């Protein structure tokens, strides 16, 4: 590829699907949702992403169907534009530039050429509902200048604004106030619910926790409500008795929307998920993005088998997320417990996870700490089963340590004959677990047992790390790094820098395997030489993330300063870093990981060479997943979206992807074949003139000179009837005169022609007149009918 494009930090998927209410298309075939800077179009039947509408330069904050044309979609964004899309083809139709941050979008059928948006003008907290007149113009980009304020002092959330029946009025709430604006009368009425006045109301009680969203069904006969309990409640006839539930939706329901046709509901959940629900309260489809509901404890990992990104997912689950397709592959249920979503409840958290032995083993640690003294700790070891293609629980260890486990690492050396796992804990010990044969005469079994317990002056063990060849184990105890021989578990040596607790620890790889790196909390990065047992160098760097590249010697360190985060890529053996990028993110970077590339890139520039074999992904505090790329996100996404555009947009199921493509290829092949036939058949035999030539005895044939002119004439004639393609084929007819094709069907037709031609043979000898040409033309017609049958 052409390079010298600068490397930039780009977001790579994992954006929120649950930021705003999802919108159904009029026929309920599609569902639209905002996703970062894009709008995504999903098929409701197959959960497949059909289109990604990209064009906005900032967060998309609202989407609505065009009430006047239900094949079009309005979207508004923080970049100050309203865009109109044709979602069937995924085409941007128009852009209206408003030039102020838009926070929500509403459309009303009665207001033909205007839409309503929420803006904040002066103060950050004051929001206004304004109507924007959309000018009619043929150009792609139009400036929309006509803004008129409808309501002032409203809530930012689009849920707090509702348009009344037929667009007669609009109501908005903020704090205790309800404001209603009547479009006809152009008046605003305000009401304060804080006072003790009596109002007529019905109270429906079932939810014991906060209710996040409400929606009426299309007919208005039932009301849907959902909240933190993650139960969708349908209140029939607005009575407390008649209610139906759809429980265990997984996470807090944030939005509920109803399809205009009334046959589908959908709920957006706080775990970045959209559930599509049938009218009879049966979940029919789940659209799941990268789960970002909760804090990430496990960090980013790469599953060696699927190359998927692995991190905390749903509560008690580990999610496997495909970086290529921005899609969750599957969830591994670690906790295997009923999840109760309740405010203030201390849940069991999945704290640590690690892959070992080329993805054959997975270790997970879950923890629940209610008070200082009450700690529940469980370590689970999962074995990959080839049969089921998934992880199966092998060993469960209750309370592996007396205190929280701070680090977990497998020995990933290639030659190691026995899988080994090391856990370091705050209780001052590190434990070595090995896989042992647990089989007896009744069954074959393997299980993990503790092999060695080590400690160093009762300091808290904070980190552990195996060297690349598995011969050394480094365990950091607060400020001290200890090195242990993994054969005998003898303490080999200690390093101490007296610069705060060790935060990260890692060995160099490949040619740099003699180096051990440690980053301390006081902002010192040290590199020790294991051969001389001395400090090689140290640098002042407040390292937050330190990740070794599995494919090279490079190590990436992300440092945190008051301005933002900076990235340093270096080799432990070289004094100067390979690459420095300042300000990769304004927020704190929490986790990072190198993902090996399937196809190595070839950056020639020295500064980018560290990206050749692996890609660096990192996760910031606000849980946005970022990476380095020279390509723009549009470029990254285009191949798939283009392909989608080309295809029939209707039900695109995975099967369709397989079969449809296949069929297309087949069609193409067929076309090719038929084309080839078209090329060949008329050339060789199917033109009666040739067959005549070939099958008339040589002694009765006229001279070649004479025949030639006849052929040329016939070609001229054919121009009227034949398609343009065939002309050049007929030109080289003469060369192929001699070629014989023994296709049976052709033979058959030849015979017919022969019989027809027998009486003509003499004519040819005598005169090749117009009558003969007519005859020839006749046969040609016969011929074509025959080809057409083919």
Partner 1 sequence: MAGYKPVAIQTYPILGEKITQDTLYWNNYKTPVQIKEFGAVSKVDFSPQPPYNYAVTASSRIHIYGRYSQEPIKTFSRFKDTAYCATFRQDGRLLVAGSEDGGVQLFDISGRAPLRQFEGHTKAVHTVDFTADKYHVVSGADDYTVKLWDIPNSKEILTFKEHSDYVRCGCASKLNPDLFITGSYDHTVKMFDARTNKSVLSVEHGQPVESVLLFPSGGLLVSAGGRYVKVWDMLKGGQLLVSLKNHHKTVTCLCLSSSGQRLLSGSLDRKVKVYSTTSYKVVHSFDYAASILSLALAHEDETIVVGMTNGILSVKHRKSEAKKESLPRRRRPAYRTFIKGKNYMKQRDDILINRPTKKHLELYDRDLKHFRISKALDRVLEPTCAIKTPEITVSIIKELNRRGVLANALAGRDEKEISRVLNFLIRNLSQPRFAPVLINAAEIIIDIYLPVIGQSPVVDKKFLLLQGLVEKEIDYQRELLETLGMMDMLFATMRGKEGTPVLENTSDGFPENKKIES
Write out the residues near partner 1 by the rule CB under 8 A: 246-250, 275, 283, 336-338, 340, 342, 344-348, 368, 370, 373-374, 398, 402, 429, 440-442, 453-455, 457-458, 491
Could you give the C-alpha distances from 187 to 108, 168, 169, 177, 180, in angstroms and in order?
18, 11, 10, 16, 8
What is 420-436 written as a DSSP string?
EEEEEETTSEEEEEEEE
On whether the CB atoms of residues 224 and 214 are closer than 8 A, the answer is: yes
Q: Shortest Cβ distance from residue 398 to partner 1 (Å)? A: 7
Closer to partner 1 by Cβ: residue 337 or 771 = 337
3-state secondary structure of 684: helix
Rounded-to-integer distance, Cα 390 and Cα 142, Å: 53
- Smallest gap from Cβ 445 to partner 1, in A, equals 12
Chain centroid to Cα 448, Å, comes to 36
Smallest distance, partner 1 to C-beta of residue 292, A: 20
Give residues with Cβ within 8 angstroms of 245, minimum separation 6. Answer: 231, 232, 233, 234, 281
Q: How many CA atoms lie within 13 A of 12 on its CB side?
A: 22
Dihedral angle computed from the Cα positions of residues 555, 561, 565 and 567, in that order, rounded to the nearest 10 degrees: -30
- The residue among 340 and 765 lying less far from partner 1, judged by its C-beta, is 340
What is the three-state SS of 56-107?
CCCCEEEEEECCCCCCEEEEEECCCEEEEEECCCCEEEEEEECCCCEEEEEC
Q: For partner 1, which is the closer residue by CB, 136 or 457?
A: 457
Is 270 in contact with 288 (CB distance < 8 Å)?
A: no
CA distance 114 to 130: 10
Alpha-carbon gap, residue 9 to 632, rounded angstroms: 10
User: 253-271 burial, b for 16+ CB within 10 Å, e for fewer?
Assistant: bbbbbbbeeeebbbbbbbb
Per-residue DSSP letter, 6? P
Q: How far is the CB of 454 from partner 1 (least distance, A)?
A: 7
Mapped to the 3 state alphabet, what secondary structure does 203-245 carry? CCCCCCCCEEEEEECCCCCEEEEEECCCCEEEEECCCCCCEEE
Residue 143 in tokens: 């400036």
- In the complex, what is the shortest distance from the CB of residue 653 to partner 1, in angstroms, rounded to a whole number? 15
Closer CB to partner 1, residue 283 or residue 637? 283
Give the nearer residue to partner 1 in terms of CB position, either 375 or 539.
375
Is the CB of 342 or the CB of 587 nearer to partner 1? Answer: 342
Shortest distance in whole angstroms from residue 450 CB to partner 1 = 10
Q: Closer CB to partner 1, residue 328 or residue 554?
A: 328
Residue 253 Cβ, how far from partner 1 at the closest point, in Å?
A: 12
* Nearest distance in Å: CB 41, partner 1: 24
Nearer to partner 1, 283 or 434 (CB): 283
Helices first, then strands: H and E counts in the chain: 8, 53
Give least dist CB 441 to partner 1, A.
5
Other beta carbons within 10 angstroms of residue 19's beta carbon come to: 19
Nearer to partner 1, 477 or 618 (CB): 477
Give min distance, CB of 238 to partner 1, in A: 25
Question: In this structure, what are the phi and psi dihedrals at residue 634, rounded to the nearest 5 degrees?
Answer: -60, -45
Which three-class secondary structure state does DSSP give residue 746?
helix
Least Å from the CB of residue 528 to partner 1 = 21
Q: Quick one: 100 or 399, whose CB is closer to partner 1? A: 399
Our CB check for partner 1 shows the closer of 202 and 488 to be 488
Residue 34 or residue 348: which is nearer to partner 1 going by CB? 348
Min CB(298)–partner 1 separation in Å: 21
């Amino acid at each position: 590829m052409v390079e010298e494009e600068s490397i930039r930090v780009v977001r790579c998927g994992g954006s929120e699907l649950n930021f705003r209410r999802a919108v159904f298309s009029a026929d309920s075939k599609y569902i639209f949702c905002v996703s970062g800077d894009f709008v995504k179009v999903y098929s409701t039947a197959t959960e497949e992403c059909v289109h990604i509408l990209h064009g906005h330069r900032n967060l998309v904050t609202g989407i609505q169907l065009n009430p006047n044309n239900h094949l079009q979609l309005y979207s508004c964004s923080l970049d100050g534009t309203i865009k109109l899309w044709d979602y069937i083809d995924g085409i941007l139709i128009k852009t209206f530039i408003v030039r102020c941050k838009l926070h929500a979008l509403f459309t009303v059928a009665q207001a033909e050429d205007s839409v309503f948006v929420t803006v904040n003008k002066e103060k950050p907290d004051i929001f206004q509902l304004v109507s924007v007149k959309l000018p009619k113009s043929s150009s792609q980009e139009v400036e929309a200048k006509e803004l008129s304020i409808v309501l002032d002092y409203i809530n930012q959330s689009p849920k707090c604004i509702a348009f009344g029946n037929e667009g007669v009025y609009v109501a908005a709430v903020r704090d205790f106030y309800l404001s209603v604006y009547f479009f006809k009368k152009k008046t605003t009425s305000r009401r304060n619910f804080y006072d003790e006045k009596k109002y007529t109301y019905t109270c429906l009680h079932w939810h014991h926790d906060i209710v996040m969203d409400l929606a009426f069904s299309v007919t208005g006969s039932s009301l849907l409500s959902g909240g933190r309990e993650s139960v969708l409640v349908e209140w029939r006839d607005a009575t407390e008795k008649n209610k139906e539930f759809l429980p265990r939706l997984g996470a807090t329901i944030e939005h509920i929307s109803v399809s205009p046709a009334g046959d589908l509901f959908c709920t957006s959940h706080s775990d970045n998920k959209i559930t599509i629900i049938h009218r009879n309260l049966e979940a029919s489809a789940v659209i799941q993005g990268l789960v970002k509901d909760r804090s990430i404890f496990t960090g980013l990992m790469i599953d060696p088998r699927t190359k998927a990104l692995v991190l905390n997912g749903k509560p008690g689950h580990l999610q496997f997320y495909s970086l290529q397709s921005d899609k969750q592959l599957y969830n591994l249920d670690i906790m295997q417990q009923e999840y109760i979503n309740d405010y203030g409840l201390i849940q069991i958290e999945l704290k640590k996870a690690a892959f070992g032995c080329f993805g054959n083993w997975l270790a997970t640690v879950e923890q629940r700490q209610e008070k200082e003294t009450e700690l529940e700790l469980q370590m689970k070891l999962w074995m990959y089963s080839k049969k089921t293609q998934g992880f199966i629980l092998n060993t469960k260890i209750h309370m592996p340590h007396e205190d929280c486990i701070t680090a977990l690492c497998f020995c990933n050396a290639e030659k190691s004959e026995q899988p080994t796992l090391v856990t370091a804990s705050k209780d001052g010990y590190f434990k070595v677990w090995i896989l042992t044969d647990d089989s007896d005469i009744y069954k074959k079994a393997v299980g993990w047992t503790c092999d060695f317990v080590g400690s160093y002056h009762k300091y808290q063990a904070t980190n552990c790390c195996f060297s690349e060849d598995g011969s050394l184990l480094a365990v950091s105890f607060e400020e001290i790094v200890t090195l242990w021989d993994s054969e005998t578990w003898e303490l080999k040596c200690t390093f101490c820098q007296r610069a705060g607790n060790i935060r990260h620890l890692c060995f160099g790889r490949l040619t740099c395997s003699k180096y051990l790196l440690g980053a301390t909390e006081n902002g010192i990065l040290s590199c020790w030489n294991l051969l001389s047992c001395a400090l090689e160098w140290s640098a002042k760097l407040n390292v937050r993330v330190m990740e070794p590249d599995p494919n090279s010697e490079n190590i990436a360190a992300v440092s945190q300063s008051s301005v933002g985060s900076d990235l340093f890529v270096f080799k432990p053996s070289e004094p100067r870093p390979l690459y420095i990028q300042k300000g990769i993110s304004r927020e704190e970077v929490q986790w990072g990981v190198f993902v090996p590339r399937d196809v190595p890139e070839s950056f020639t520039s020295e500064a980018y060479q560290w990206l050749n074999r692996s890609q660096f992904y990192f996760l910031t505090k606000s849980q946005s997943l970022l990476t380095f790329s020279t390509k723009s996100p549009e470029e990254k996404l285009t191949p798939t979206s283009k392909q989608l555009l080309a295809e029939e947009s209707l039900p695109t199921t995975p099967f369709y992807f397989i079969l449809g493509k296949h069929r297309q290829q087949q069609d193409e092949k067929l076309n090719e074949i038929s084309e080839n036939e078209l090329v060949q058949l008329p050339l060789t035999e199917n033109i009666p003139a040739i067959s005549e030539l070939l099958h008339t005895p040589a002694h009765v044939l006229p001279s070649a000179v004479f025949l030639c002119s006849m052929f040329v004439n016939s070609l001229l004639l054919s121009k009227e009837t034949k398609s343009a393609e065939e002309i050049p084929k007929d030109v080289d007819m003469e060369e192929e005169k001699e070629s014989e094709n023994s296709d049976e069907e052709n033979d058959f037709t030849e015979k017919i022609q022969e019989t027809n031609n027998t009486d003509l043979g003499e004519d040819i000898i005598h005169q090749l007149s117009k009558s003969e040409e007519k005859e020839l033309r006749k046969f040609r017609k016969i011929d074509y009918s025959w080809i057409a049958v083919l």
